[in-house]
Amino acid sequence: MIDFSLSEEQRAIRDWVRTFVRRELMPLENEALRRERQGHPPGLTAEERHGLRSLARSSGFWGVSTPQEYGGMGLDAVTEALIETELGRTFLTFKFGGEADNILYHADEEQRRRYLLPTIEGELRSCFAITEPGAGSDAKAIRTRAVRDGDAWVLNGEKTFITGGNEADFALVFAVTDPEKGADGGVTCFLVDRDMGWTSEPIDTMGERRPASLVFQDVRVPNANVLGEEGRGFALAMRWIGKGRYLLPARALGGCERLLDMAIEYSRTRETFGAPIADRQAIQWMIADSQTEIEALRLLVLHAAWLVSQGRDSRHAQSIAKLFGGVKANEIVDRVLQIHGGMGYTRELPIERFYRDLRLLRIFEGTDEIQRRTIARDLLKGHVKVGAGLT
């Protein structure tokens, strides 16, 4: 038998985060929307984010995935997915503090002191810089070069759509160090401080996220700032990309649950031709389809998270969850907007904001097309067998 029940700790954490989102985050939504309509940056302000993180930390909620030896909670992947689902109930992007990029744990002792520990504590902010103008989903096509010059490396190139790149104090930059060896042996990861000379420019988007374009022009990086082994950067990049892909559809799951609740409530009160639209079969089918897809997505997300927590290869399951989540979340928000009619199209309700933000899920950290390619390739090459998902 398969046991889908949560532990007492998991239920307590899920409920605490749900309450936190309802009491602390959702009340800020109308003000955030008002600021956005007036041309201010979308989302929470730096002051609001700091206050929320301090409040959460005072309750012991700090470093969700950070190992306990570094002062974090060290929670398992399933619990992380539950937390991300609850955070997805609001369109305001919020992360609890005390986190660092997972590949930073591959740092040596000095790098941990200078980068890892300050990042966990919130004193430094990092960004993961691999995507380039000509190398989006094809990470092996990166062109940024790093040339050895004595005890340093000279970096030249450009990165684009880098999350957190405008605010980062340092970047984890992936550059070609040996073109003849290709991606699997010729790419190295560097820890590059902003004051070493790289610059960033924000990229305006239709949603809240404001990624950056980073430019490296003769940026000198000490050899001591190589993260991991020289030439093994691509393996590190795949560790970063593969660790939390299931968390993206997990967050979408929370948003879809809230959106469906809104649709159900509205359909009960909105009347046409003398009856609530909840009585109309067309509306009922949209609600039924959405609920079915939400429950399917929940199982896909939790299955992928469970594989991660068991230390098993979860890449195939994560690709399935992300593909299904991206497609279905966009279908669900579209239905919910349709149920609300003209009101759904206005900026008075959060539906249009969810509509814009959820669209990114089909592109961010691997497009739908890349996920389909991965899933099909795994099957065609025999890496995964049909029906072997629960073995």
- Domain ranges for the chain: 8-99, 125-240, 244-380
User: Measured between alpha carbons, how far is residue 66 from residues 76, 104, 245, 264 in Å?
Assistant: 10, 11, 17, 38
For the segment(s) 8-99, the CATH number from 1.10.540.10, 3.20.20.70, 1.10.730.10, 3.40.50.970 is: 1.10.540.10
CATH topology of domain 244-380: Butyryl-CoA Dehydrogenase, subunit A; domain 3 (1.20.140)
Q: To the nearest whole percent, how much of the chain has pLDDT over 90?
A: 81
Please indicate whether the domains covering 8-99 and 125-240 agree at the CATH topology level.
Answer: no
Q: Is 69 a catalytic residue?
A: no
User: For residue 1, what pLDDT is reported?
Assistant: 41
**Predicted local distance difference test score (pLDDT) of residue 136:** 59
> Other C-beta atoms within 10 Å of 95: how many?
13
- pLDDT lower than 50: segments of the chain: 1
Question: Which two structure tokens, joined as six digits, stand for 344?
Answer: 């759904």
Question: CA-to-CA distance for 268 and 349, rounded, in angstroms?
Answer: 17
Residue 222: its H or E element: strand 212-222
From 84, 132, 208, 365, active-site residue: 365
Q: Shortest CA distance to 383 belongs to which of 335, 313, 334? A: 313
* Residues ≥6 apart with Cβ < 8 Å to 230: 177, 188
The pLDDT value given to residue 348: 87
Q: How far, in Å, CA of 367 to CA of 139, rounded?
A: 12
Q: Which fold has domain 125-240?
A: Butyryl-CoA Dehydrogenase, subunit A; domain 2 (2.40.110)
Global pTM exceeds 0.75: yes
The pLDDT score that the predictor gives to residue 390 is 65
Beta carbons of 169 and 124 less than 8 angstroms apart: yes
